[in-house]
Copies of this chain bind each other. A is one copy, B any other.
Amino acid sequence: MEENRQMAGKQSLLFKNPPYIQTSACIAGKKEGEGPLGHLIEEINEDPMFGMNTWEEAESSLQTLTVNKLLKKANLTADEIRYIFAGDLLGQLIGTTFGIKEFDIPLFGLYGACSTMGESMALASMCVNAGYADRVIALASSHFAGAEKQFRFPLEYGNQRPLSASWTVTGCGSVIIGKEKSLVKIAGITTGKVVDYGVKDSMNMGACMAPAAADLIYANFMDLNVDEKYYDMIITGDLGNIGQTILLELLKDKGFDISKNHMDCGLMIYDESTQDTHAGGSGCGCSAVVLCCYILKQLEKKRWNRVLFIPTGAMLSPVSFNEGKSVPGVAHGIILESV
């Protein structure tokens, strides 16, 4: 077994046979289409119901449409995908269950809150690198209206949103990770812990997640014995502007200044000044869509050579929040390299 050892430090793996991101596909909603990355998102669906009758079915439909698109782009049938690693934000993963069931692909259902795209890509690449599959799908989705209903208030209630609140992205991003060479490889991963600074404000998820992101980035640097200069870009999932400020501070305290090469998907997907999205975008779909429509393209074009991609999640439920619990964060890091 020893020859397989690929452990780096306490929390990271560097793959011997780095898997490739062979194809990606994403679909997002109207508001995302109107944002700064809108022209890059390959498909905008203007119907927030995605042809269905409930918000939850809408999210499932979004997943189904995205997987169909992904398979079509890759010229593959579902039968040629060995596993799917997928998740969403809804209780008991109903977005995913009903979204992917028609494909009849063995499923590993995941919950990492908004870090799910990182969790799914981590497990998917571990699986391919180990030779357990030739190709698998990693996927995550979120839907604004479904998330508001799940975590806060139904839209019909018309509640006000504080400026620290983020806007859940309606979108689904998916990738096929496999062993056939492509333009982007997954060189390694860093797996996050639950990090709890005791923040209790579910309307300020950036503050809840920033400590987990800082912890993950620091662990990655220590495990690989590198610093911020090792990466062309360090891209967190959905910290938003408040979370970003906290992240930069926390890392500065540890001796690292990532302010020059940090981006946050939540700050990229909407135009804060015109779209009324307050602290930024959030939801599993946020980092998943930005990965597919922007980050991978930059790597494919070799504008960046190495990126640390870190979807970030806030671990709360309406029950835990109403019972006065804190909102811990979690983050999953993926090392992406252009080939």
A residues lining the B interface (CB < 8 Å): 1-7, 10-11, 13, 17, 54, 56-57, 82-83, 87, 89-94, 97-98, 100-101, 104-113, 119, 122-123, 126-127, 129-133, 150, 179, 191-194, 196, 315-320, 323, 325, 328, 330
Counting from the closest, the 4 A-B pairs by CB-CB distance are A4-B131, A91-B91, A130-B130, A92-B317
CB-based contact B191/A108 at 8 Å: yes
Nearest Cβ in chain B — how far from A43, in angstroms?
24
Q: How far is the CB of A93 from chain B (nearest CB, A)?
A: 5
A-B residue pairs in contact (CB < 8 Å), sample of 23 = A1-B17, A1-B131, A4-B4, A7-B82, A13-B132, A54-B323, A56-B320, A56-B323, A83-B191, A90-B319, A91-B150, A92-B317, A93-B111, A94-B320, A97-B315, A98-B320, A106-B193, A107-B191, A108-B110, A108-B122, A109-B111, A111-B111, A129-B130
Q: What chain B residues lie within 8 Å of A122 (beta carbons)?
A: 108
Distance in angstroms from A71 CB to nearest chain B CB is 16
CB-defined contacts of A4 to chain B, threshold 8 Å: 4, 130-131
How close is A219's CB to chain B, nearest CB, in angstroms?
A: 9
Query: Which residue, A57, A105, A179, A317, has most C-beta atoms of chain B within 10 A?
Result: A317
* CB of A20, distance to nearest CB on chain B (Å): 12
Chain B contacts for A126, CB-based, 8 A:
126-127, 130, 132
- Using Cβ atoms and an 8 Å threshold, which residues of chain B touch A101? 193-194, 196, 328
Please name all residues of chain B whose beta carbon is closer than 8 Å to the beta carbon of A112 when the two chains form the complex: 108-109
Establish whether residues A108 and B119, one from each chain, have CB atoms under 8 Å apart when the complex forms: yes
Which of the residues B11, B92, B323, B328 comes within 8 Å of A57, measured between beta carbons?
B323
Q: Which residue from B11, B87, B318 sits with its C-beta under 8 Å from A91?
A: B318
| Residues of chain B contacted by A319 (CB below 8 angstroms) | 56, 90-91, 94, 150
Task: State in angstroms the CA–CA spacing of A91 and B123 once bound together.
Answer: 22
What CA separation (Å) do A179 and B5 show in the bound complex?
12
Query: What CA separation (Å) do A254 and B89 show in the bound complex?
Result: 37
CA distance A200 to B231 in the complex (A): 50
Q: Are B111 and A316 in contact (CB under 8 A)?
A: no
Instruction: Give Cα A194 to B106, complex, Å.
Output: 7
Residues of B within 8 A of A1 (CB): 17, 129, 131, 179
Contact of A94 among B89, B104, B196, B317 (CB under 8 A): B317
Among A111, A122, A318, chain B packs the most CB atoms within 10 A around the CB of A111
CA distance A89 to B328 in the complex (A): 18
Residue of chain B at shortest CB distance from A99: B194
Instruction: Report whether A107 and B193 are in contact in the complex, using a CB–CB cutoff of 8 Å.
Output: yes
Q: A101-B194, A108-B119, A108-B123 are in contact. Are A7 and B132 (CB under 8 A)?
A: yes
Taking the closest CB of chain B, its distance from the CB of A272, in whole angstroms, is 27
For the complex formed, measure the closest distance between the CB of A139 and the CB atoms of chain B, giving whole angstroms. 14
How many angstroms between the C-alpha atoms of A150 and B319 in the bound complex? 9
